[in-house]
Amino acid sequence: MNDFVIVIHGGAENKTRQDIGSDMEAAYRRGLEEALLAGWQILNNNGTAVDAVEAAVKTMENNYLFNAGKGGAFTEKYKNEFDASIMCGKTLKAGAVAGVHRVKNPITLAKTILEKSKHVLLTGEGAEEFALEHQLECKPAEYFRTKKQLDELEKTKEEEKIKEFDTVGAVALDKNGNLAAATSTGGLVNQHNGRVGDTPIIGSGTYANNDVCAISCTGEGEGIMRAVVGHEVYAQVKYLKLPIQDACAQAANMYKDKIEGDKNLIALDPQGNIGIYYETKLMFRAFRKNNQPPTVAIWED
């Protein structure tokens, strides 16, 4: 049997244990465990890497704790706007969506685009029309709104700034040796209406290629886009033959003199080696290889 592996992240933040508190920490750990299990079960049952990353990300989109789907960040105009993408390492097909408001699971819409559209990226109204054409579940605005995110927006408006917020993602290797990556986000708190980050940009926030690696990023989207972090990991592995962990660190630190903001990511290579790199105080993350016990972590230790 080939190794099968899933790695997930629920975002990276500059918060301490005191900031989060023990109750919220326990809730985050449960959320990560549920998402990891959803993807792992698919791989364990001979399912595809694409289905596994979708299932893991979808679970986090349904959990108000994570900034994707339900509980997504508010824009400056008190709206929720979602971006997501997914890529299959075997076929190099990808699907991405940006600026949708009503689709319950943007990652499922991205996967439907991968499977059923001749395009890669659909935005806004056109993406929502495509979702309705394919009978994907939509929700009213109230479904996505949470007091937690409203408080974050009010606080951010008072401070007259834009606040980075989490993105969720997953990378997987299935029993047939296929890689996949998926990423989903509610964007930044107090972002300009219509702003799109790195998440739906293939080669930036998400990338997968069976020959080389699969990557999902979280952090300051503008910086991740400008540094093309996903593809930079790919290049470090493909051309410099770096181990996946070293490639993640190199990609995140490329152009540090010109591009500010944290760059955090998870990655997998075709042999099932895991790369996890983050520059913040914490990264919500979890992984499981074959039938080994799952690992769930938040802080460095």
DSSP assignments along the chain, one per residue: ----EEEEEEEEE---HHHH-HHHHHHHHHHHHHHHHHHHHHHHTT--HHHHHHHHHHHHHTSTTSSSSTTPPBBTTS-B-EEEEEEETTT--EEEEEEESSBS-HHHHHHHHHHH-S-SEEEHHHHHHHHHHTT--B--HHHH--HHHHHHHHHHHHTTS-B---EEEEEEE-TTS-EEEEEEE---BTBPTT---STTSBTTTEEEETTTEEEEEEE-HHHHHHHTHHHHHHHHHHHH---HHHHHHHHHHTTTTT--S-EEEEEE-TT--EEEE--SSEEEEEEEETTSPPEEESS--
pTM: 0.96
Name the catalytic one among 167, 183, 185, 199: 167
Report pLDDT for 73.
Answer: 86
Positions in the chain whose pLDDT score sits under 50 = none
The domain that holds 286 is classified in CATH as: 3.60.20.30
Number of domains comprising the chain:
1
- Based on the residue annotation, tell me whether 167 is a catalytic residue of this protein: yes
Is beta strand 94-100 parallel, antiparallel or unpaired with respect to 121-123?
parallel
Q: Distance between CA atoms of 224 and 220, rounded to whole angstroms? A: 6
Report pLDDT for 71.
Answer: 84
Report pLDDT for 164.
Answer: 64
Binding residues for substrate: 195-198, 218-221
Of 138, 168, 164, 139, nearest to 59 by C-alpha is: 168
Contact present, 252 and 242 (Cβ < 8 Å): no
Of 227, 232, 237, 228, nearest to 268 by C-alpha is: 237
Cβ of 175: how many Cβ atoms within 10 Å?
A: 17
Domain, as residue range, for 147: 5-297
Report pLDDT for 162.
Answer: 66
151-171 burial: b if 16+ Cβ within 10 Å, else e: ebbeebbeeeebebbbbbbbb
Contact present, 217 and 283 (Cβ < 8 Å): no
